[in-house]
Amino acid sequence: MIGKRSISILVATLLAALSFGTIMSTNDMGYSRDESFYFSNAEIYQEWFDQLDSKKAFERGEILRIWRRNYEHPPLVKVLMGGFWRTFGTIERNVRVHPPTSKRPGGVTLTVQGLAPSHPFSKGTTVSVLGPQAIDQVAGDPRRNLGTGKVIKRGPRTATVEFKTSDPAGIIQRCNTLYHAGPEYMRGCTVRRDGPLREGTAMRLVGPFFTALLIFAMVLFGWHQLHPVVGITAPLLFLTSPRWFYHAHLAAFDMPVTAMIFLIAAAFWMSLERPKWAWATGVLWGIGLLTKHNALFLPIPFIAFWLLTHRREVSLKSKSMSRVQMTLTAIACLAVLILGLRQPIWGFLLALIVALTLTRTRIRFPRIPLAFLVMPPIGLGMLFVFWPKLWVDPFVAIEAYLNFHLDHEHYLQYYMGQILEVPPFPAEYPFVVTALTVPVLTLVVCLFGGLDLFRPGVRHSIQALRKTPRKPLTAINAHLFRLGTFLAFLTLFPVVLIAVPSTPVFGGVKHWMTGMPFFCILGGWGIWRLSIISVQLLALPSDHLRKQMSILAAIILSIAVLIPATLATANSIPVGNTYYNELAGGISGAADKKLTRIYWGYASKQALDQLNTRLSPRATVWLHDTTPTAFNMYKREGRVRSDLNLLGTGHVFARNCRDGSVGCGIANVLDKADAALFEEQKFFGAAQLHLQRAFNAPGPSWAWRADGVPMISLYEKTPAPTKKPSVDGPK
């Protein structure tokens, strides 16, 4: 016999594997700005691991050289990215061919260019030698194969490969003479360290890996804490929300920290009944701290939940005070609050501590959970032990880390016609955006599930306030109310935190995505409860029949909720963070409502074929929001021509001129460009005028649209006719 726990683990494993496979099969999305920063740092971090067998790795200078890069984020995700890249990535680099020598008369030698110390071309490595890649070929086209070679020498930035061939003159002619970068070819001859994935896709493994971990945990938590239907439907609700599904693909921190926060919360919940889980909570919190700074805030909802559910055990005792003492206390608290205006939350907490101290107030707390005692030493200890940056000047490093996020730069968002660039931001922003970006039926079942979990406890509390006779809550209802409170705290905490007017909102839904798995658990419960209620209306004669019909109703209702969400997710795969639901009127309705269409620069991927086929040899391209590192990754993967030059990128459009317009100085930049990619946003309208004037063009020569709404546009000064290349090279 297979036990119930074994069945739940099997289902969790299957759903986790399904999520991993689905994400990997839909991972051909453009590289975002943030990802590109992490790409380069993930590679550099690997250099440190190559030195672990020497003392140099632990020298102050070497630690600072490597680990102070991207210090604003902990290292775990970037280390995993680098490890996945070196293990699974297909790493292909350009070469220069040299004729045979007296020492090696039976072939040619190849100088591999564009290497870094962490690139896996060590001496003795067998590599594939490839011919030029034509414009209509993919990088892995077997017609490019010339044979295999071996690395015989490795330098910091280059490597030498020995390639034995019976026709060295032909290889030299094909690689050095016949190939000219331009409209016919993506790149010349290369060598390749073979792997199953593209370089960027290998680094992106962190997204599907942590998503699968999250799905596994959601199944088990929903299954055992509420009902098996909840365990199955809740993770599916999460996966079929287009924006969350988009973030599941990325080489970024948002999905990993979302998974870790759910794991930490689940372990903490278990520790309230089984104290041994407190140790797991501490370890998981340490991993969370090594993932992203969001985990630092997690004790706040834990403590709030603990105090609320044990509020009857909390008491205050203070000695009487004279009027002078009361006045001095009030002045001290006011002074602290004024000093804390820059950070109101911390100012309020400090004022509260001052007030309690001066009034000599004693607070009697309920029994403190073991998790609260073990989380700080274990979690913070792991942060300092496993982040080498903190080994050097730890207090200075921690201060810089925290200050970066407390004083984070604000990037533009567009909200109901408002350009959100500097605080204060609208407090309703995260609530409204959530309502417009989560599939409607998912919203309905999640809200219903939350209300249903609260219903018995709220009714009991109202009866207590009215002092009417009431029955005590049953053990099941008490458990459901307590669990509902816990899920509500963790759902709302990140949303409320973003609703604080001074909190940056530039990342949109990803900033409060950490609360959405808990929201989906409520949704799973909503589906199950709606199924039970619908069956109760049928007045069936037996409990057994009612139970079977409830399962059938849950299946039907789940299909009804999940199919529209799945279709919406499938349709939004190329540009997942552009999705808006029916309440917004879809993408076109959101554009009419003057909401942010797209951001992060990843839509440039949709224009790569246009750049490859339309631009002249060695053309210069100005990219609106795509970073040089992302553009270089496309080149390394053979997806954009290697001869194209990147003029510049960044948020030059966002800089205000003295006359109040946007895009000051862009004309000087674009004078040197042959083409430009522009991400369509209403708040960049003035900058678009600068672009059109610089190119003397009333509009783009090409545009990519989603639901009829322009997302990325190509401007050209001298459009060139398309040439069809030969895959065998020029004659």
Triad 382, 384, 385: Cα angle to 5°:
65
The average pLDDT across 135-159 equals: 93
Instruction: Report pLDDT for 349.
Output: 62
Instruction: Report pLDDT for 292.
Output: 96
Decide: residue 447, CB within 10 A, 0-12 exposed, 13-18 middle, 19+ buried: middle
Distance (Å, whole) CA 13 – CA 33: 33
Look-up of token digits 């001095």: 328
- Identify the weakest region by mean pLDDT among 27-31, 182-186, 207-211, 352-356: 352-356
- Identify the weakest region by mean pLDDT among 370-374, 543-547, 659-663: 659-663
What confidence category does residue 299 fall into, taking pLDDT thresholds of 50, 70 and 90? very high
Answer whether the bond into residue 469 is a cis peptide, omega within 30°: no
Pairing of strands 620-623, 418-420: unpaired
pLDDT digits (tens, 9 = 90+) for 672-704: 889 999 888 776 777 788 788 888 888 899 999
Distance (Å, whole) CA 561 – CA 596: 26
Query: Are the CB atoms for 516 and 491 separated by under 8 Å?
Result: yes
* Residue 182 DSSP code: B
The average pLDDT across 327-332 equals: 68
DSSP string, 250-311: SSSSHHHHHHHHHHHHHHHHHHTT-TTHHHHHHHHHHHHHTT-GGGGGTHHHHHHHHHHHTG
- Identify the weakest region by mean pLDDT among 6-15, 310-319, 341-350, 585-594: 341-350
Query: Are the CB atoms for 688 and 710 separated by under 8 Å?
Result: no
Question: Domain coordinates of the chain in residue numbers?
Answer: 91-194, 315-364, 602-716
The average pLDDT across 42-46 equals: 96
Tally of CB atoms within 10 A around 127: 25
Q: Which CATH architecture has domain 91-194?
A: Beta Barrel (2.40)
572 to each of 10, 239, 258, 306, how far by Cα in Å?
30, 13, 21, 40
Q: What are the phi and psi torsion angles at 604 (to 5°)?
A: -60, -25
Token pair, residue 626, equals 């795509």
- Identify the weakest region by mean pLDDT among 355-364, 519-528, 537-546, 570-579: 355-364
Instruction: Report pLDDT for 172.
Output: 86
pTM of the predicted model, to two decimals?
0.90
The average pLDDT across 440-452 equals: 96
Distance (Å, whole) CA 155 – CA 37: 25
Token pair, residue 707, equals 């639901």
Distance (Å, whole) CA 692 – CA 366: 67
Distance (Å, whole) CA 648 – CA 675: 11
Q: Which of 363, 362, 46, 23 is nearest to 207 (CA)?
A: 23
pLDDT digits (tens, 9 = 90+) for 614-649: 998 889 998 888 899 999 999 999 999 999 998 865
Token pair, residue 413, equals 């968002």
Most confident of 326-330, 655-659, 705-709: 705-709
Token pair, residue 236, equals 């599916």
Alpha carbon 126 to its chain's center: 35
Token pair, residue 456, equals 């018995």
Rounded (to 5) percent helix, strand, coil in the chain:
55, 10, 30
